[in-house]
Amino acid sequence: MTDQLTLAEANGAAAPASRAAALELRGINASYGNTAVLRDVSLTVAPGSVTALIGPNGAGKTTSLRVASGLMRPSDGAVLVDGVDVTKASAARRAKAGMCHVPEGRGVYRNLTVRENLLMQSSAARPKEAIELATSVFPRLGERLSQKAGTLSGGEQQMLALSAAYVANPKLVLVDEPSLGLAPIIVDMVFEFLKTLREKDVALLLVDQYALRTLAIADQAYVLRRGEIAYDGAASGLLQGNMFEKYIGEGAA
């Protein structure tokens, strides 16, 4: 018997019999004050798939992830995880139920050591196993276990933040700009890590500045423009003909 809550339990509902979408946003509207950010946004992330969410700065990508993870309540619409409506469930309940949100800006506990960060993220019954798991994916963390997270390099902090997607054993991972501000060699490591999530049958919703690299590992893609969905289809479709330039812009990474 597992200690991890099911998503149905997180919202006090019965789980559906069939395997539903890992995440579904239905008709989401969201605002900051009087400023509308998302307008009737709907998207679906299939179980075990990688979905890219692409668009210019200010399009609403980060807001979409915040709504999905429960950090922000929509003014209208619904959030479903595994077919269960969790629109009113807190971010903490969604996390306990198997959702992992890696926000932009390397969300780590800066005053705690690397080891302490990993233990806080872990869902493993035995802490040693959690640390071994994280350091097998990011060996550099194994050399920094006693170091305060706030003293790590930017790339090492990002590795630590992403390690939550491993040691927390999530079903669904939302990742916001994991390559932002990193050296090219670290960016390569980040994208290799994201590929391993797919091998674990983890559903991934990915926002990243490197649109072409993001699309290359994605199954499905959505393009946001001014808070609205401009493209909804196969990621490969955006890599054909002039589709990339049409929806994303010439010269985009």
List the CATH number of the domain containing 241.
Answer: 3.40.50.300
Structural domain boundaries, residue 133 = 7-247
pLDDT of 11 reads: 52
Determine, yes or no, domain membership for 62: yes
When divided into structural domains, the chain yields a total of 1
Distance of CA 60 to the CA centre of its chain: 15
Residue 100 CB partners (closer than 8 Å, separation 6+): 164, 165, 168, 170, 172, 173, 174
pLDDT of 78 reads: 98
Determine, yes or no, domain membership for 2: no
165: phi then psi, degrees, rounded to nearest 5: -70, -10
pLDDT of 122 reads: 76
The length of the chain in residues reads 253
Determine, yes or no, domain membership for 252: no
pLDDT of 126 reads: 65
What's the Rg (C-alpha) of the chain?
Answer: 18
141 contacts 134 by C-beta, under 8 angstroms: yes
Which amino acid, residue 220?
Q
Nearest CA among 217, 248, 201 for reference residue 52: 217
Determine, yes or no, domain membership for 176: yes
Strands (E), the chain: 23-32, 35-45, 50-54, 76-81, 84-85, 99-102, 172-176, 203-207, 220-225, 228-234
- In this prediction the pTM is 0.86
- Name the DSSP class of 19: -
The whole-number mean pLDDT for each consecutive block of 10 residues of the chain, a chain of 253 residues, reads: 46 56 97 95 96 94 97 97 95 90 84 90 70 86 93 91 84 93 90 86 94 95 96 93 79 52
